[in-house]
């Protein structure tokens, strides 16, 4: 399972904690839990670490009490970056507690699942905003709290990038085949050049021998012609 890390968390008041935990959702998907805790009050929000635009995801919400308290209101707003306007847009609002509920210390409200449709214009990431109101019961007087923490839920995968990424192995195989073909062509060219060199060397030797024979014949012919001419000139004159 991947380690889920918060990409950005707003600074929270003292005594408040916000963490992102690993959780196994009993599926092949990776899930994370964002937990916000302050003054005995905890809210847990479980969500997929990765999702696609136009996909329906399941998120879970639960509240735990470390002390006696009243949960006045719990709402979770979901935002995503709009691929056209480049602004974050609210696309869903989950109201988990709409009227005050008493909760004893050590107890929790039932975990509730919600089906959330991610809009097709969503890109890059999802983030959430909690609107929390609760009251700590005291012996003399109660203390009312109201907080609005925000958190990054996870990444949105791009179908087009995924499609292109799936083609990488095929392109790598084609590239390897092309490299093999180039190597074969280079080897063939080298062999042809070697054969040409052998032919050239062989015929250069034969041509050299032929030139020698022609030279000897030429010298012999010239000597014969010169000798014949000399003998003709030396022949005695006949008188009539």
The tens digit of pLDDT for each residue in 114-131 reads 999 999 999 988 999 999
Residue 28: pLDDT over 50: no
Please give the mean pLDDT across all residues of the chain.
78
Question: Is the separation of the CB atoms in 41 and 17 below 8 Å?
Answer: no
Measure the CA–CA gap between 153 and 7, rounded to whole angstroms: 9
DSSP state of 11: -
Over the stretch 62-119, which tens digit does the pLDDT of each residue have? 999 999 999 999 999 999 999 888 889 999 999 999 999 999 999 999 999 999 999 9
The better pLDDT of the pair 34, 49 is held by 34
Could you give the 3-state DSSP secondary structure of residue 45?
strand
Q: How confident is the model over 198-217, as a mean pLDDT?
A: 63
- Phi-psi category of residue 26: left, alpha or beta, with phi > 0 → left and psi -120 to 50 → alpha: left
Query: Global pTM?
Result: 0.60
From first CA to last CA, the distance across the chain in angstroms is 133
Strand partners, 114: 59
Distances (CA, A) of 216 to 39, 139, 148: 120, 135, 112
């Amino acid at each position: 399972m991947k380690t889920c890390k918060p990409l950005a968390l707003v600074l929270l008041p003292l005594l408040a904690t916000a963490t992102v935990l690993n959780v196994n959702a009993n599926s092949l998907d990776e899930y994370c839990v964002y937990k916000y805790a302050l003054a005995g009050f905890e809210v847990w929000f479980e969500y997929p670490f990765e999702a696609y635009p136009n996909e329906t995801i399941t998120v879970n919400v639960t509240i735990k009490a470390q002390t006696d308290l009243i949960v006045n209101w719990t709402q979770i707003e979901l935002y995503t970056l709009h691929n056209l306007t480049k602004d974050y847009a609210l696309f869903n609002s989950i109201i988990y507690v709409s009227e005050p509920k008493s909760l004893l210390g050590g107890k929790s409200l039932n975990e509730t699942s919600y089906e959330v449709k991610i809009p097709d214009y969503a890109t890059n990431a999802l983030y959430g905003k909690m609107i929390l109101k609760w009251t700590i019961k005291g012996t003399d007087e109660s203390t009312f709290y109201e907080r609005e923490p925000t958190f990054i839920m996870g990444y949105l995968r791009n179908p087009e990038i995924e499609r292109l990424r799936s083609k990488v192995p095929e392109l790598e195989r084609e590239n390897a085949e092309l490299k093999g073909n180039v190597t074969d062509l280079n080897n063939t060219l080298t062999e042809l050049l070697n054969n040409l060199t052998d032919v050239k060397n062989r015929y250069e030797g034969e041509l050299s021998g032929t030139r020698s024979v022609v030279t000897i014949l030429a010298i012999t012919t010239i000597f014969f012609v010169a000798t014949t001419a000399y003998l003709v000139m030396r022949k005695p004159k006949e008188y009539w």
